[in-house]
Structure 1
Amino acid sequence: MLDFSLVTKFVPFLIEAAWVTLEISVLSIILGLILGLIAALMKISKIRPLVWLVDFYLWVIRGTPVLVQLFLVYFGLPQLGIDIGPFLSSILALGVNAGAYIAEIYRGGILSVPKGQIEAAESLGMSYWKTMRRIVLPQAFRVSIPALGNQAISMLKDSSLASLVTVSELMMVSQRFASTNFAFIEFYIAAAVLYLVLTTLFSYIINKVEFRLSASEQ
């Protein structure tokens, strides 16, 4: 017999853990957006060593599980004398992982911008970086919003892996309460509901941003 009254006693702790999950997710996404943009610009550059470096980064990150990457950061960096703790380790690993996928999203958005616009900017005397900043990147970002939104939601769900390196986020706290109270179904359903609330919030924000950008374009 299910007894959700057990869960109600721990709701404040679950909400606090959900806040930690949100922090990890948002900070990882920000890091991923920054790394992804840098990698995308390097990928489309004419400097071959930069292209090779990005290709290697994409090959390694996209070809290995995010859990392995998380363990390498959390357990591996201290062996090199770098101990940043479980919270920052989770953000770093998830952000670097997201950056590889976001780089390809950005690159697709950049390549979708008509070459005629770039040539027109060059004919007006705009520098490469000014053209990218004022013409190419705004359009690329607008085109990339749906894919970036999906990546953000995936990152939110992947943040549950932080529980494996002792971060007290939603999954770890739910698991702890489920074990101590022998109420696995109740606490995991509660965790699922909170994840649904967070992903719905992300979807709402992404849709609002996409609508505003579409309206400004018109």
Structure 2
Amino acid sequence: MAASAPDKDFPWWLLAVVALGGFAYWQILLDDLYTQVLTTLRRGIVTTVFVTLVGFALATALGLLLALAALSRSLILRQVSRFYIEIIRGIPILVLLLYVAFVLAPALVALWNWGAESVGADPIRTRDFNLLWRAILALSIGYSAFLAEVFRAGLQSVDAGQIEAAEALGLNRWNRFRHIVFPQAIRTILPPLGNDFVAMVKDSSLVSVLGVLDITQLGKVTAAGNFRYFETYNVVALIYLTMTITLSLVLRRFEKRMRQRPDG
């Protein structure tokens, strides 16, 4: 009975995915049209990775600040954090992208110009606010609300007795957070944090509605030019699958190693 356990846990699904993926890439290398499409879309991979990494980093930082505000002793900070989280979580990412790009960005430019006039600086135009950065700002705002809840749940999972003991030992709030709370909370936070990172890779495709030249946008342009939608979108889907499955496996491995580390 014990000998059959490894066979039961063997990732046959991964073996199937690798086989299908290898066959698909082999077909791409043999077909000139597929190769041409892949070469064209390769430029969009850099944009997709950049949007995801920068957007997720900003969202993580803002989400952590929101979580700390939500757990603050200040009633005002708690209410402001909750207001932000509930409002942003209720808006679809696509709508948020359009709102930030065409409403918030012009408002920020107008505010900048108002401040620039008071100090004698040169004004800027709305089109100077790059669409790529508008998209990154929108994704950061949207995901920060979800990550704030991830951080809040993780921080609250730490036993209150340990925090009280650290306080009794004379540790200030920063040292309690750095040495006691966060090292334990991160084990709870990592799995959902990794899931949201993979989700942002997929949601980064929404920036194509702003004309940002990511994988999806280049796929749309390529398909509109060669009218070979089947081949083009096969490559688009394959690229996203390669990125998301690889990330999921790396994150799963990292989480497993974190769980195996001793508490000390």
TM-score (norm 1): 0.94
RMSD: 1.6
Q: Does 1:85 align with 2:130?
A: yes
More RCO (CA 8 Å, sep 6+): 1
Once the two structures are superposed, the pairs formed by residues 104-183 of structure 1 within 5 Å of their partners are: 104-183=149-228
Secondary structure of the residue aligned to 1:10 is helix
Q: Which runs of 4+ in 1 moved over 4 A?
A: none
Write the deviation string for residues 175-206 of structure 1: whole angstroms up to 9, x where unpaired: 11111111111111110000011112221331
Q: Paired residue for 1:50, among 59, 77, 90?
A: 77
Aligned residue pairs: how many? 216
Distance in 1, Cα, partners of 2:220 & 2:136? 21
> Is the Cα–Cα contact under 8 Å of residues 62 and 100 in structure 1 kept in the other structure?
yes
For residue 255 of structure 2, what is the aligned residue in structure 1? 210
| Superposed displacement of residue 81, structure 1 | 5.4
Q: Which amino acid aligns with 2:99?
A: L
Write the deviation string for residues 135-186 of structure 1: whole angstroms up to 9, x where unpaired: 1112111211111111111111100110000100000001111111111111
TM-score (norm 2): 0.78
Which structure has the bigger radius of gyration? 2
Distance in 1, Cα, partners of 2:98 & 2:83? 20
Distance in 2, Cα, partners of 1:68 & 1:146? 27
For residue 146 of structure 2, what is the aligned residue in structure 1? 101
> Is the Cα–Cα contact under 8 Å of residues 7 and 190 in structure 1 kept in the other structure?
yes
Write the deviation string for residues 90-141 of structure 1: whole angstroms up to 9, x where unpaired: 1111011111000001111111111111011011100112101111112111
- Report sequence identity in percent: 35
